[in-house]
Amino acid sequence: MSTLLQEIEAQIAGVKTSVAKQNVGTVREIGDGVAKIEGLTDVMLNEMIDFGNGIIGLALNLEETEVGAIILGDYTSIKEGQEVRTTGKLLQVPVGKGLLGRVVNSLGQPVDGKGPIKSDVSYPVEKIAPGIIKRKSVNQPVQTGIMAVDAMIPIGRGQRELIIGDRSTGKTTLGVDAMINQARINQAADAAGDKDTRRLYNIYVAIGQKQSNVARVVSVLEEAGAMPYTIVVVASASDSATNQYLAPFAGAAMGEWFMDNGMDALIIFDDLSKHATAYRQVSLVLKRPSGREAYPGDVFYLHSRLLERSARLGEKYGNGSLTALPIIETQLGDVSAYIPTNVISITDGQIYLETDLFYQGIRPAISVGLSVSRVGSAAQIKAMKQVAGRVKLELAQFRELAAFAQFGSDLDAKTQAQIERGKRIVEIFKQSQYKPIPIEVQVAVLWAGQNGYFDDIPVDRVKHAQAKMTDYLTNRKTDLMAKIAKEKALSDALTADLKAAVTEFKQTYK
Amino acid sequence: MKISKQARREAKQVFRICLANGTLDPNRVRQVVQHIIVQKPRGYVGILSHFERLVILEEHRRTAKVESAVPLSPELQSTVQNSLERVYGNGLNISFSQNPSLIGGMRIQVGSDVYDGSVQARLNALQESF
């Protein structure tokens, strides 16, 4: 017994309490969410700094004698002379499916009062985008449910498509519609027990927006049953600029988790103009040199590194994707301003919304001439390509002829017919908000439009006829619609069936 | 007072002149300051104040503060001094002081590195872990 005691005593005497080395600094200046800290000789760029009381900061500026850090959280309780510590960690946010259906802030903390978030995985907020080897070209569609977009400006999974327009032209609505449509497709697949359909999860990042706007979007998503497939990241106008600056990166980290785990996600940044403004504020307070319009020199890199993180991964790397829909608000339609041109050049195309069209009643107010999708056509389903292949060109021709016809000169029959057809196509593309249209219905209606089935209906009745036709096709021709959705192409047999169905409808329609 | 970039650069140069084998040479510092005051080059007040700041930071970097709850025995002091010099090299200004609020143990700060083995620090860590 005594030998055992001696043994233990010897072991205990051998144990020394180790003291870890810490690196500390002193707060020299504090204000506007930014602290200047002296000391911290071992601090790394973008490292988290512990201010005590659960407040953390991020080291953004490493200078000769001091460190500039942004503070996440309440900076009013921090005092000059206070001691701070390095943590050796990067800023991380919780990720995973536990976040679906939740509203979180830019640190991934819940703000919806639904209790703590169940998540055991965290991702760093700043992450290097996947490289060339991991990527694959875009070849699967994102069905937005907006006919004009799916037909003329198709978006593929892994694409970055900018939504740009003046205030109140329906930019957010376009994004919300796309999210609702994904929820609709996911719900249908869940109900059918279909495991093959690739679900697309939504992440909505609200940057610098009014809380009331965010609440409205959340309630629309809830009403449409889209919340179970959606994560909402909020850094509202009343949050600090530092949180607004971090929010899209936090959202991108949440999306990357889906991508890395072989799933698909759609992220909407609403909007990046306010993000650039928040970053400008942070940079100016940090006394970084300012450039054009007082934006810092790295405002391009800010957005390029963010949007570069959306990608389509190859089969070997899980086959996941992250599609980004950044939103930019222009002033008086000026797309040649600094931030809009930056983001236009980064993205793979843009959807341009015009105030004039909006007030003419053409909603969504998509300007066909200025909107492009650089990679999405590879992802469009064959049936849509068959019916919509020439629509964009025809609409452009219609615009030109319509402008020409305003001079009142007599027109030949062919031109007249083209103008009449164009007017009807414009009508067909009009769509009310929060009502996405399934792709098979889009194909059938466009086919009818292309083949002149609306030509004898007065322009102001086209919308009515379209609604009736949609009703007829979805309720009475369910099999045909299911077939189009399944085959994803209009074979000769299907075309004949479709023709018969539409002819039958025309006979009954008055 | 706003110190111009030029003044900062010159102060940095002056500071480098004062370094001998990586440590600050007090005699050179005195000489340099005397020289600048006599010569009065352009923006010399700025140069001097930035130089002062650099010297303060360097001093801070080479200063070791050893705090303990109870006075340390001379043997222990020399052990601490030796081990610190082994890590940080010669030329450290070591100051020993007492701080009863530590409750027990020792807290050593060299520049911005802190080795906190005090009871108070562990209590704080325990409190944060809850």
Contacts of A84 in chain B (CB under 8 A): none
CA–chain centroid gap for B68, Å, is 19
Q: CA dist A178 to A163, A265, A383, A404, Å?
A: 12, 12, 20, 35
Asked if the bond preceding A50 is cis, omega within 30° of 0, the reply is: no
What is the full per-residue pLDDT of chain A (510 aa) written as tens digits?
678 888 888 877 776 667 788 999 999 999 888 999 999 999 999 999 999 888 999 999 999 889 999 999 888 999 999 999 999 999 999 999 999 999 999 999 999 999 999 999 999 999 999 999 999 999 999 999 999 999 999 999 999 999 999 999 999 999 999 999 999 999 999 999 888 889 999 999 999 999 999 999 999 999 999 999 999 999 999 999 999 999 999 999 999 999 999 999 999 999 999 999 999 999 999 999 999 999 999 999 999 999 999 999 999 999 999 999 999 999 999 999 999 999 999 999 999 999 999 999 999 999 998 999 998 889 999 999 999 888 888 898 898 888 888 776 678 888 888 899 999 999 999 999 999 999 999 999 999 999 999 999 999 999 999 999 999 999 999 999 999 999 999 999 999 999 999 999 999 987
Q: Which of A19, A20, A41 sits opposite B112 (nearest CB)?
A: A41
Nearest to A438 by CA among A394, A403, A476, A484: A484
pTM of the predicted model, to two decimals?
0.91
* B71: DSSP letter: P
- Taken in order B1, B4, B6, B8, is the CA torsion positive or negative? positive
Q: Is A340 exposed, middle or buried (0-12, 13-18, 19+ CB in 10 A)?
A: buried
Strands (E), A54-186: 56-62, 66-72, 83-90, 92-95, 103-104, 121-124, 141-142, 155-156, 162-165
Q: Which of A17, A20, A39 sits opposite B112 (nearest CB)?
A: A39
Which of B58, B114, B126, B127 is the mutation pick for testing A, counting most A CBs within 10 A?
Answer: B114
Interface of B with A in 26-85 (CB under 8 A): 53-54, 57, 60-61
* Minimum CA–CA partner of A41 in chain B: B112
Q: Are A206 and A295 in contact (CB under 8 A)?
A: no
Tell me the C-alpha distance between B44 and B46, whole Å.
5
Q: Which residue is associated with the tokens 């083995």?
A: B117
DSSP assignment of A369-431: TT-EESSGGGGS-HHHHHHHTTHHHHHHHHHHHHHHHTT-----HHHHHHHHHHHHHHHHH--
Q: Are A328 and A208 in contact (CB under 8 A)?
A: no
Tell me the C-alpha distance between B80 and B32, whole Å.
34
Nearest to A189 by CA among A498, A476, A486: A486
* A333: DSSP letter: T
CA A214-A96-A156 angle, to 5 degrees, is: 70
Contacts of B53 in chain A (CB under 8 A): 65
Q: Which residue is associated with the tokens 């940080």?
A: B88
Tell me the C-alpha distance between A27 and A76, whole Å.
13
Tell me the C-alpha distance between A38 and A25, whole Å.
5
CB contact under 8 A, B113 and A42: yes
List alpha helices for A100-194, DSSP H: 147-152, 171-192
Tell me the C-alpha distance between A183 and A222, whole Å.
11
* A459: DSSP letter: G
Tell me the C-alpha distance between A200 and A258, whole Å.
9
Q: Which of B60, B109, B117 sits opposite A19 (nearest CB)?
A: B117
Contacts of A20 in chain B (CB under 8 A): 115
